[in-house]
Amino acid sequence: MDIKDIIISTEKYNLHSHSQFCDGRDSMEDIAAAASREGMEYFAFTPHSPVPLKSPCNMSASRMDEYLAECGRLKDFYAGNMGVLVSQEIDYLGDSWGPHVDYFQKLPLDFRLGSVHFVPNQEGVLLDCDGRFERFAEYLKDGFSNDLRYVTEKYFEQVLKMLERGGFDLLGHFDKIAGNASLADPEIESYGWYEALVDDVVSHASGAGVVVEINTKAFEDKGRFYPAERWWGKIIDAGLPVAVDSDVHYASKVSSGRAEALERLRKYVRKEP
């Protein structure tokens, strides 16, 4: 079933999860069981894709067959009760690596989730700007010459290039850089140049025909979503389809933040004040 059909047919889905094959903390089996207990009608596995650089968070290409086999087993096990979808959260690194390359296009996936985590610094070195703020702060100082605007603009540039290259169906947490950037500068999301970057993403996403994800992983601990709620009106006004995903890393958090996001999202869809 196409993910656009899924998100308009039910709210009982989750299209973004991580397990033992990348940086998730529980097995695919345990996460699927938790999703089934919560009444999910569709659940997708999206391990961080293989990347051609050292990264402890990304799955190894050598485990792809094992991963696909486990997906197949769980598809069969839950058939008739919960649709299990096979996917990857594919990192866009540049023209030579992203959802558009043959390696990912030829994988037997139900859909492709495209995301940006790595940002090239002024020398072209890719640095992972997600994760702990302490590491981001070190990269900002030593890798990006303390140029927070550069990091932020380059992150969004990567998102735009990924949208231009295409090859994916779901745009993951398109302003995730704000998580760490806003800790370095709490006002960053209020700047006009920052909003212009968001507008560019919304415009490109409309042209690319992708589903935009509202990622709820950080809501429980940090009280925020990605993209930030302040941008949801732009997304809805652009007519973009929206998926609400919890970016699961623990079986116990399979629905974390989803109910809150879905309830708030209804306000924008109904155009309430």
pLDDT tens-digit map of 89-112: 999 999 999 999 999 999 999 999
Q: For 9-43, what is each residue's pLDDT tens digit?
A: 999 999 999 999 999 999 999 999 999 999 999 99
Q: For 247-259, what is each residue's pLDDT tens digit?
A: 999 999 999 999 9
The pTM assigned to this predicted structure is: 0.96
Query: Residue 1 pLDDT > 90, yes or no?
Result: no
Residue 1 vs residues 32, 73, 84, 159, 223: alpha-carbon distances, Å: 18, 18, 10, 26, 32
- Judged by DSSP in three states, 133 sits in helix
**Closest CA relative to residue 251, chosen from 23, 89, 16, 25:** 25
Instruction: Answer whether 242's CB lies under 8 Å from 211's CB.
Output: yes
Query: Residue 270 pLDDT > 70, yes or no?
Result: no
